[in-house]
Structure 1
């Protein structure tokens, strides 16, 4: 490929990466039972499908249909009913996702959706691109020759949908949304179907279908009246019919009178103009009051759960019930259509029912009871995350926690993968949990959750969303006067800022933490802060300051007998000597550190040490040894399921592959590294990956492509005020332009020399001498001409 101007991630996907055979995903959920009528709409969908095909059945137009309608109108039921009807027309399978566009929490992003679709299409998880543009491009490529049905449920807007559209008309995309998503019609040729309330005969037929076999035949006029009270909305009709079916000996007159009473109550409280919404609320109240008391209590308490979905363990803690009793009551709520089960042990509300449950909790539970329920579920998340930390971040100190009350049973994890599975499954609930603690004035929970969740986050979670959560915890710790906790959260914020290249803010946080720890006489904490500051100096290539901070930290760790952290700091010190070009010192230190880390079995620390060792081997002219160390590091990153580690260690792998002349492999490593770092928000390491790719193109004599990437790398490092990395990129750029644009090359070498002036370590001296030689040669050649 000709790169020219690169505006996004470039990925190389080899056929050997794909498993044999083409997977045929079957992701359609089961259709709703006793689906009734919607005959007109089903016929219109059939006509739409026919209109987009030619006489041979081939697709000739964009196959995209948006089913729009008010909440509770049955959009999802219709979409699934029709999708099951026509699935045989799409022999390569179906994809389905709930985009949660109208949930109270965050909607599913296009990237998250693609990360669910691509593995189902046969892409190994480690090969899934981590930026939206690249993932969408791969998705379109995989669907280019397939006939598939894709159902995108509950879309909040066109931007959420567009990256999930295939590039060929052989696939059919069915979107449901409360809005019309007019942009999809204008720009993507979408067909629209607006779903209103059911016609009266169909509404009555739905009531009959749900109650058939459970009740005597009801008077048709009474069924019409019941349908009208439900505003002929399928969601309300199903809930009402389920209640009627569960009371076969109660006359329909009595049920209707109860519902009229609820309707009158809502009308008295309503401002008017929302007839359908009022009818739905009336049916909710009517069905809610028919629940057994324990189930009704659980329903309203679920309105207090801070996140978008929940498992049995969290629900049991919320309600102070046993797991067994909780499962029974959850089943009652699912049967009554008051709750949806989305997967084994995972539940969620229809968003209208969540709002109603929250209202009922506010109305029927005292403030103290609401606070107690929230406290219990926060305790469950706190202790569950603490258990996960033991696997995900075993070297980090645990926050001292009070034991949970007897009704709370946090999960236990048998291994690392179980802990990461938990963290990935619950990650959408973590930020809302911290926010809920702050809103409720539970400051101790707020800071403890922030601290524990930082150490138990999924290894591939980006840092961008973490800063706000840590800031909540810091505010809470300060309100409580918990200075040690404040220092801990400042440290967490400092590391978060580093990951986003916000080094000034990171220094401020770590210095503030250091000051607190010195005041408290916390020697280990002081050493930890010194090590953190050393890492920032190392990132800035302030090598003398980095070495001084690492030395001070090591002295304290050694005095305290903190072997693990002393060894971590020794690795960092080796990294400083490596950057300075002091290879003998670096090699001795990293081999000592690696031996200790191997004894403890800490995969993350082993990988970091191997990355440094790989670079040392490369500098010593031992590329095969460098390759072996880097390959082992990347394998460890995959075991850890850590995108941050994988992205960083891929840089070392790419360097070794390039040194050995394995240029295609090197490009694959660099491009994946760039994409991972872009997702994680680390622009500096992303630029380093583009630098590596540019150097590889230069060695392939593809100097135009090399120059494009090296310009991008140099521009990014300039924005980040990283003079060293900018100088290296400019020197490489000058080399790529040497033949075609010698005057530009001279200009870039000259600027690189200026940037290198402030560095005096052995590596900097050698680099400056090399650039000076190139510049002198170029000037001499220009003079001869």
Structure 2
């Protein structure tokens, strides 16, 4: 680990990124970069959120990202084991921000930049510290001369040296000052120096606490800002009100109260003056010092009403753009948001599902920042409407940390307004987020809160939605009777005129309940009805995958292998058109199960191993256990008992952390069979005893049959 430490504007990031590019070929397994925003005007980026981003970048499915910081750090280190990777942690404020992000692999390189020396990292973690001081005078002068070369006449070297001194020899200030000099070739350098000296005197008189270099940087900023054309100056300071880490042209137009064509020219002017950085096609960001300066100028020169209006325009633009993305994504059951604020700037438009989700990913950090800022500014209507609108996009790719934070902010805002419908909507969203993360207890609590509110409001569509979501939680917990009652409640609602869109999802969920219980005939009938309803309504193609996979499973379990293959091929054809890894993985698992059922055990082992690798890479231990358990059954069929035992043991271990009672009982039962066949009767009996105790709470047909099978074998091990 190398820590590049130095004052603000010294060029730490530029130096570190240059080094990273030079070294990247030595680290062929990948590079990770994050700006920790340790000195931004907003909150620094928490290690848990950074690990969420890193784990996704490493291929972990969103729903498989652990909840706790320590568990995320452990998974991160395990994924980097054996890899040579380069990790760049920019703008760190404290050692505490850094430690959870350190790989355990000694072949990785970590580059850190910070204004702090981070001495604890050197003392405890072996970091090498590289202090980055100010440029020597000769190099500072050379930087100015290079920047103005060919754009001015010959300047007095002594005056260039004086200009560099007034910039405190800091690269950021030197580039801004040089650009101003180059842009005014007719203006004598001594006149520019007098202006900057006057500005520096003002900052010296203010006696700021951050030291001489900070005063020099602020003086250069002010010196450059004061000569901007009025429209550019107004845009600069209003951009400082954007709460996110970066922004695109339309968002800049919204916050500055300009049309996109007009603001593009102003952004180009600010980039040319080195007051703004362009990071991509139509995307920009501030250096953190410049962001703070711009925000300070906005507070000084814009009235509170003008500042509030800027944030309102921005949040309204994000809200309408989110709704456009929802329409393009074909979101099921879009939220009812009531009266919407007008958007002064034309919102984004999307032609495809992928375009909508790409925009959401690009704007994710900004969306959370805007929701926080709206709540802090008392814009409570927007503070709940935006999280509610984002729900459908969050479901698509599960940014769970941001999702839960935004939903919580939305609930608080709706409570302040006394809007119980909005509260229910956000409780529902938060419940779905918890369920996606495997947090089933809090998920059930949020759905019950939503159901209570909607029942009190006599809101039949809302009651149906809450019942459906509560049913999904019961299904995940294998509480099948409760799940059945919830889905039947939803189906009753769907049968009423105007509510037909709910029929296909309710039928599909009922089918899954019956299949889990072992009632395959009604399950197949319900799944077929769900597919027919989807076809009648020309619903989004991805909705067909779940019923098709269920039909493939039912056909497999009833030995109709050709029909199972046909249903599986139909599901695969739909998934091939989507960017949806979870559905791709589900198809692969069913192919493995079908191969095993057909007796094609070598092929099944290949498919299980592919699936296991996928689930390991995304960090989903429950599904990884399914692969190990299936592989163990195929190995038993091939007579490779020692290997089968190892695979079943691996499955039981994964199903214990956290405990998944149904899955664990199944893997223990399979382990017992392999142990008994291997003449390890005592171990087999212990495994069956534990499996039997785990099965006691389950009373459905499938669980009863498995419990009876285990009981019989315990009484007669050779049966």
TM-score by length of structure 2 reads: 0.86
Q: Deviations over 1:161-220 (max 9, x none)?
A: 74498948xxx9876554567788789987654321111122122222222333332233
What's 2:392 paired with? 455
What's 1:607 paired with? 545
What's 1:619 paired with? 557
Where do residues 40-189 of structure 1 align in structure 2 (5 Å cutoff)? 67-78=4-15, 98-102=33-37, 104=40, 106=45, 109=50, 112=53, 152=88, 154=90, 156=92, 159=99, 162-163=102-103, 167=107, 177-178=114-115
Where do residues 631-650 of structure 1 align in structure 2 (5 Å cutoff)? 632-633=570-571, 636-637=574-575, 639-646=577-584, 650=588
Q: Residue 564 and residue 694 in structure 1: after superposition, are their counterparts in 2 closer, same or farther (change >3 A)?
A: farther
* Alpha-carbon separation, structure 1, partners of 2:241 and 2:10: 26
Where do residues 125-524 of structure 1 align in structure 2 (5 Å cutoff)? 152=88, 154=90, 156=92, 159=99, 162-163=102-103, 167=107, 177-178=114-115, 193-272=130-209, 274-400=211-337, 402=339, 405=342, 407-457=344-394, 459-524=396-461
Where do residues 525-544 of structure 1 align in structure 2 (5 Å cutoff)? 525-544=462-481
Matched position secondary structure for 1:427: helix
What's 1:665 paired with? 607
Establish whether residue 713 from structure 1 lines up as the match of residue 654 from structure 2. yes
Establish whether residue 725 from structure 1 lines up as the match of residue 666 from structure 2. no
Which has the higher mean CA deviation after the structures are superposed, 290-299 or 268-277? 268-277
Matched position secondary structure for 1:457: helix
* Alpha-carbon separation, structure 1, partners of 2:253 and 2:354: 24
* Alpha-carbon separation, structure 2, partners of 1:576 and 1:675: 29
* Alpha-carbon separation, structure 1, partners of 2:365 and 2:191: 43
What's 1:744 paired with? 683
Matched position secondary structure for 2:400: coil
What's 1:758 paired with? 697
Q: Deviations over 1:676-704 (max 9, x none)?
A: 364xxxx7556555554655665553135
Question: Does the 8 Å CA contact 1:657/1:666 hold for their aligned counterparts?
Answer: no
Q: Residue 160 and residue 205 in structure 1: after superposition, are their counterparts in 2 closer, same or farther (change >3 A)?
A: farther
Per-residue deviation, 1:265: 2.8
* Alpha-carbon separation, structure 2, partners of 1:234 and 1:112: 31
Per-residue deviation, 1:152: 3.6
Matched position secondary structure for 1:465: helix
Per-residue deviation, 1:393: 4.5
Per-residue deviation, 1:257: 2.7
Q: Residue 67 and residue 406 in structure 1: after superposition, are their counterparts in 2 closer, same or farther (change >3 A)?
A: closer
Question: Does the 8 Å CA contact 1:497/1:506 hold for their aligned counterparts?
Answer: yes
Matched position secondary structure for 1:99: strand
Matched position secondary structure for 1:394: coil
Per-residue deviation, 1:305: 0.8
Per-residue deviation, 1:618: 2.2
Number of residue pairs the alignment of both structures matches: 693
Question: Does the 8 Å CA contact 1:152/1:161 hold for their aligned counterparts?
Answer: no
- Structure 1: segments with no counterpart, 5+ residues: 1-63, 119-124, 145-149
1:656 aligned to 563, 577, 594, which one? 594
What's 1:18 paired with? none
Question: Does the 8 Å CA contact 1:637/1:645 hold for their aligned counterparts?
Answer: yes
Matched position secondary structure for 1:566: helix
Which has the higher mean CA deviation after the structures are superposed, 514-523 or 697-706? 697-706
Q: Residue 487 and residue 294 in structure 1: after superposition, are their counterparts in 2 closer, same or farther (change >3 A)?
A: same
* Alpha-carbon separation, structure 1, partners of 2:394 and 2:197: 49
Q: Residue 355 and residue 647 in structure 1: after superposition, are their counterparts in 2 closer, same or farther (change >3 A)?
A: farther
Where do residues 23-42 of structure 1 align in structure 2 (5 Å cutoff)? none
* Alpha-carbon separation, structure 2, partners of 1:474 and 1:656: 45
Per-residue deviation, 1:629: 3.7
Q: Deviations over 1:130-155 (max 9, x none)?
A: 888788888787869xxxxx684736
TM-score by length of structure 1 reads: 0.80
Q: Residue 238 and residue 714 in structure 1: after superposition, are their counterparts in 2 closer, same or farther (change >3 A)?
A: closer
* Alpha-carbon separation, structure 1, partners of 2:427 and 2:308: 28
- Structure 2: segments with no counterpart, 5+ residues: 66-71
Q: Deviations over 1:608-627 (max 9, x none)?
A: 11222222122112345445
* Alpha-carbon separation, structure 2, partners of 1:737 and 1:320: 73
Which has the higher mean CA deviation after the structures are superposed, 732-741 or 492-501? 732-741
Q: Deviations over 1:303-361 (max 9, x none)?
A: 11121111001111111111111110000111011111111111111111111111111
Question: Does the 8 Å CA contact 1:713/1:729 hold for their aligned counterparts?
Answer: no
Question: Does the 8 Å CA contact 1:698/1:706 hold for their aligned counterparts?
Answer: no
* Alpha-carbon separation, structure 2, partners of 1:90 and 1:750: 54
* Alpha-carbon separation, structure 2, partners of 1:153 and 1:757: 50
* Alpha-carbon separation, structure 2, partners of 1:695 and 1:264: 80
